[in-house]
Amino acid sequence: MKNSGKPVRYGHLKSVRITVWIYFFIFIVSILVLMWFTFSVSLEANYKRMKVSNIFDVANYILTDWSEDEFTDGNLDQLAYDNDMCILIQDAYGNRVYSYDMMAGNCLIHGFFTTDLYKYRALAKESTRGIYYTEVRNPRFNNEVLLFVMVLGDPSDPSGYIFLNTSLEPLNSTIGIINRQIIIVSAMLLILGLGISYFLARLIETPIVRIIKSAKKFGEGDYSAKFDGHGYTETEILADTLNYAAEEISKVDSLRRDLIANISHDLRTPLTMVKAYAEMVRDLSGDDPVKRQEHIGIIIDESDRLAALVNDILDLSKLESGTGELNYSTFSITKKIHDIMGRYTLLSEQDGYKFFVTTKSDFEISADIIKIEQVLYNLINNAVNYTGENKTVYITQLITDDDTARIEVTDTGKGIEPELLPLIFDRYYRAEKSRREVIGTGLGLSIVKQILKQHNFKFGVRSELGVGSTFWFEVKGRVTGEYSDNERNDNE
Ligand code: ADP
């Protein structure tokens, strides 16, 4: 399938099965060709070479015996028999001194070929080493025969001649047998090869086909489809990877659904309120300045909430898509904390909130000042929103290392259940669903998370039920001096 989802026809010739078959076939044919070559070409050449050297050995043996005048007929008979040869030894005048003929019609030096012996004797005498050998066709059986003549003594004055004759026929019959064997072995190899390649192709193909089926289902939107790659390691890894990817995709999908539901819900609530109160002003309270004031106040509050929500969504999507580049500058986070706390004075005066800020040293960091400000605001706002009856919030700056400061925002609220702690940084996660309309958008902590991640700052939360929660993050920088926070803590 291509992206369009339109079915595409794939060539079967490129399928695993056909590919395996083709390669196996090529492999087997190569082996067979190699076998034929080895047996027919090189064997024939080697055999003939061996026969020639054999005939030389026999001739030399006879020569040694002859010069010592020691050989007996019995010895020569054995020699001829062992080497599959017939032997004829003549004296200087061509008289037969010894003869062994065990090959009947194959023995050209005996019988009907004798008339030519004179000719070969002359050829041997003419040669430099007194030796002449040739391959001759035996007219009787139409087969190849090796004929060998050696002059005894001085070639110009020979004392005799050795004729040796061996058939090359056994070679042909051997080749015939081997050829037949090769044909049988070839046929067996082909059948075996086809069988093995069939099973091999199935072995490779089956898990892949299973994965393709699941992928098709998955592509059609069935997120429950499971990938099964058992068979061999690579497909198992592939299936595991796909299962992981599928799980993540289905998570993203359900998150997307939740997100849309939450956003529309969050947008609808203030919109309904704005519409309802606008209608009330138009129909009922328009003439009553007190009521009108109150209702318009609600409309303004709800519009603010709507604007805040839209801003949060925009911020988050910017942060998540990575388009929100960081604007690094060097500033004192300690001063920033105190500045922000200054802005909460109204809250503490009007609503009785108590803020305790503890900073011992002035700590300078390099970060995006606006984003870090947003992190502090989000954490402090949450602490204000979720702190308990005693309305107390602690903001602490601790120097944990030479180059690290940890900022902690602690409230004295009812805390967060341990199993919910890993979830609260997720987009739209809200532990207290019931208070949805009252405070927050459910995006504050995911914005905090994105910003701190972008800065590579560590962050986290610890919480104890009934005692309160502490949200913290660590910034990298350096201490630039003391910071007396007592004078600034006018909110205490
Ligand atoms: P909200 O706008 O709902 O506060 P946040 O992303 O800031 O969204 O927080 C997500 C959820 O985490 C909140 O709905 C709340 O349940 C929980 N939470 C955040 N801060 C605190 C806190 N200081 N104490 C208790 N619960 C908190």
- DSSP character string of 423-462: TTTSTT--S-GGGTTTS--S-HHHHHHHHHHHHT--EEEE
Output the CA 436–ligand 1 centroid distance in Å: 10
**Looking at residue 268, what is its pLDDT?**
80
Output the CA 385–ligand 1 centroid distance in Å: 8
**Looking at residue 481, what is its pLDDT?**
85
Q: Which amino acid makes up residue 136?
A: V
Output the CA 473–ligand 1 centroid distance in Å: 16
Tell which residue, 94, 164, 144, has the closest CA to residue 122: 94
Q: Which residue has the higher pLDDT, 296 or 81?
A: 296
The CA distance from 329 to 395, in Å, is: 23
The ligand 1 site (C-beta within 6 Å) comprises 382-383, 386, 411, 413, 416, 424, 429-432, 440-446, 469
Mean of pLDDT values over 11-20: 78
Could you tell me what percent of the chain has a pLDDT over 90? Answer: 21
The CA distance from 355 to 277, in Å, is: 35
**Looking at residue 114, what is its pLDDT?**
65
Q: Candidates 259, 386, 420: which one to mutate for ligand 1, based on the most atoms within 8 Å of Cβ?
A: 386
Output the CA 386–ligand 1 centroid distance in Å: 7
Mean of pLDDT values over 238-262: 82
Mean of pLDDT values over 198-212: 89
Domain ranges for the chain: 13-71+170-221, 72-168, 233-321, 328-489
Helix spans in 145-288 (H) = 169-219, 233-283
Shortest-distance atom of ligand 1 to CA 428 = 6
Domain 233-321: give its CATH architecture: Orthogonal Bundle (1.10)
How many DSSP H helices and E strands does the chain contain?
A: 11, 12
DSSP letter string over 18-83?
A: HHHHHHHHHHHHHHHHHHHIIIIIIHHHHHHHHHHHHHHHHHHHHHHHHHHT---HHHHHHHHHHT
Supply the DSSP symbol for 220: T
Helix axes 169-219 and 233-283, enclosed angle (nearest 10): 10
Shortest-distance atom of ligand 1 to CA 446 = 6
Output the CA 376–ligand 1 centroid distance in Å: 14
Shortest-distance atom of ligand 1 to CA 429 = 10
Structure tokens at 218: 């998955």
Output the CA 379–ligand 1 centroid distance in Å: 9
Is the domain spanning 72-168 CATH 3.30.420.40? The answer is: no
Output the CA 374–ligand 1 centroid distance in Å: 15
The pair phi, psi for residue 464, each rounded to 5°, is -130, 130
Question: What do you get for the CA distance between the two ends of the chain, in Å?
Answer: 67
Shortest-distance atom of ligand 1 to CA 425 = 6
Output the CA 399–ligand 1 centroid distance in Å: 26
Q: Whose CA is nearest to atom 12 of ligand 1?
A: 424
| Secondary structure class of 127 (helix, strand, coil) | coil
Output the CA 463–ligand 1 centroid distance in Å: 12
Contact 143, 167 (CB under 8 A): yes
pLDDT digits (tens, 9 = 90+) for 369-395: 888 988 998 899 889 888 888 899 999
Tell which residue, 121, 47, 61, has the closest CA to residue 91: 121
| Span of 81-95, 100-114, 381-395 with lowest mean pLDDT | 100-114
Output the CA 432–ligand 1 centroid distance in Å: 8
Reported confidence tier of residue 148, pLDDT bands at 50, 70, 90: very high
The CA distance from 429 to 418, in Å, is: 15
Give the chain's mean pLDDT.
82
Domains 72-168 and 328-489 share a fold: no
Q: Which residue has the higher pLDDT, 212 or 66?
A: 212
Pick the CATH number of 328-489 from 1.10.3720.10, 1.10.3470.10, 3.30.450.20, 3.30.565.10: 3.30.565.10
Mean of pLDDT values over 233-237: 91
Output the CA 241–ligand 1 centroid distance in Å: 34
pLDDT digits (tens, 9 = 90+) for 320-371: 676 667 889 999 999 999 988 888 877 777 788 899 999 989 999 999 988 8
Q: Whose CA is nearest to atom 8 of ligand 1?
A: 442
Q: Candidates 380, 414, 430: which one to mutate for ligand 1, based on the most atoms within 8 Å of Cβ?
A: 430
Helix (H) or strand (E) holding 331: strand 328-332
Contacts of 151-158 with C-beta under 8 Å, sequence gap 24+, read 151/121, 151/124, 151/125, 152/63, 152/66, 152/89, 155/124, 155/125, 155/127, 155/130, 156/125, 158/92, 158/125, 158/130
Residue 491, pLDDT > 60, answer no
β-strand partners of 468: 464
CB burial of residue 323 (10 Å; 0-12, 13-18, 19+): exposed
Q: Whose CA is nearest to atom 13 of ligand 1?
A: 430
Q: Whose CA is nearest to atom 11 of ligand 1?
A: 430
Shortest-distance atom of ligand 1 to CA 440 = 2
Q: Candidates 424, 441, 463: which one to mutate for ligand 1, based on the most atoms within 8 Å of Cβ?
A: 424
The CA distance from 83 to 99, in Å, is: 15
Give the predicted TM-score (pTM) of the model.
Answer: 0.49
Could you tell me what percent of the chain has a pLDDT over 70? Answer: 85
CB within 8 Å of 169: residues ≥ 6 apart: 106, 141, 143, 144, 145
Contact 138, 159 (CB under 8 A): no
Q: Candidates 382, 421, 461, 472: which one to mutate for ligand 1, based on the most atoms within 8 Å of Cβ?
A: 382
Contact 319, 455 (CB under 8 A): no
pLDDT digits (tens, 9 = 90+) for 152-166: 888 888 888 889 988
Residue 33, pLDDT > 80, answer yes
Reported confidence tier of residue 69, pLDDT bands at 50, 70, 90: low
Could you tell me the CA-to-CA distances from 392 to 352, 382, 414, 484 in Å, in that order?
A: 9, 12, 12, 21
| Secondary structure class of 354 (helix, strand, coil) | strand
